[in-house]
Amino acid sequence: MGILRKTQSLAVMLAEFDKSSHAISAIDLIRRLSNKLNKTTVYRILDKLEDDGLLHSFLGKNGIKWYAKCNGCSKTAHTDVHPHFQCVDCGQVDCLAIQIPIPELPNRTALMSSVLIQGKCQNCL
Amino acid sequence: MGILRKTQSLAVMLAEFDKSSHAISAIDLIRRLSNKLNKTTVYRILDKLEDDGLLHSFLGKNGIKWYAKCNGCSKTAHTDVHPHFQCVDCGQVDCLAIQIPIPELPNRTALMSSVLIQGKCQNCL
DNA sequence: AATTTTAATGCAACTAAGTTGCAAATATAT
DNA sequence: ATATATTTGCAACTTAGTTGCATTAAAATT
Ligand SMILES: [Zn+2]
Ligand SMILES: [Zn+2]
Ligand SMILES: [Zn+2]
Ligand SMILES: [Zn+2]
């Protein structure tokens, strides 16, 4: 149901996402903010920011949850859909500003798709 | 390190995959076989069958692990790579016999990719 | 500014999926 | 038939994420 109040915790979380352009895993965020915020709070704020179209979530390697800033989404329209890249060496995750076309599927209706590409990032090449 | 012995448990597992052409989640397999096999055994045999190129695994909705039969893979070459489809209504998961081309990525090397398409299956349309 | 209302937070306890160590059982080799 | 080595079951553990509830802190009302 999105964010209603401008709390300290919210400010701390948003600041963390402003520090870098990479995606952040929920786990890492919890670890980074462990002296300031409870993990339940972290999960709850992530949820709300996603509801509001400020962040989007996706699953990385091993099915763990990552979050990144949305580009032009709103509470009603999550339109910023794209593949993600995870470096197999350093673990860093980024949004890719490309589109992967999904073909028509016979006998099925595709509603959404998620693409995770794994490989080596520029630093680790 | 693959399968070395032809055990009862192995036969039971293989029989389960022969019953249908759909993918099976590890959890579901454990539930289905709970009166015959311990869950540790299920996980271990799945691991070995994947090593041997008889099954492949991938992550479905919510990051849970699914397994399906491979087509023409071997212990050394897992070449049967394809997207997967999960029905949002009934939860059924299938391998899609299509290829999704991944474009060249500037400043990155792609080593693998996983694509999960969610939507409605024929039954649920 | 003080009070009331309502949402956000922290904590502890829980859940679910998967993993590990080890002793007992079973398959294969001798 | 016996020895050896792999596989299995069990219990205990781990990790990521969730839930209920009392407390705290925003914001709205007076
Ligand atoms: Zn890297
Ligand atoms: Zn993204
Ligand atoms: Zn269906
Ligand atoms: Zn498949």
Say whether B118 and A108 touch across the interface (CB within 8 A).
no
**Nearest CA to CA, how far is B16 from chain A (Å)?**
25
Say whether B105 and A114 touch across the interface (CB within 8 A).
no
- Angstrom distance (rounded) from CA A93 to CA A20: 11
CB-based contacts of A95, cutoff 8 Å, min separation 6: A23, A68, A82, A84, A85
- Angstrom distance (rounded) from CA B64 to CA B70: 19
* pLDDT tens, position by position, B13-30: 999 999 999 999 999 999
Option in B88, B105, B107 nearest A111 (CB):
B88
* pLDDT tens, position by position, A62-85: 999 999 999 988 888 888 899 999
B51 has a pLDDT exceeding 90: yes
What pLDDT, on the 0 to 100 scale, is given for residue A78? Answer: 86
Contact flag, residue B8 CB and nucleic strand D, below 7 A: yes
CA of A93 to the centre of ligand 1 (A): 9
What pLDDT, on the 0 to 100 scale, is given for residue A1? Answer: 80
Q: Would you say domain B8-72+80-119 falls under CATH 1.10.10.10?
A: yes
Say whether B108 and A88 touch across the interface (CB within 8 A).
no
B residues 41-80 closer than 8 Å to A (CB): 59, 62-65
The predicted model scores a pTM of 0.94
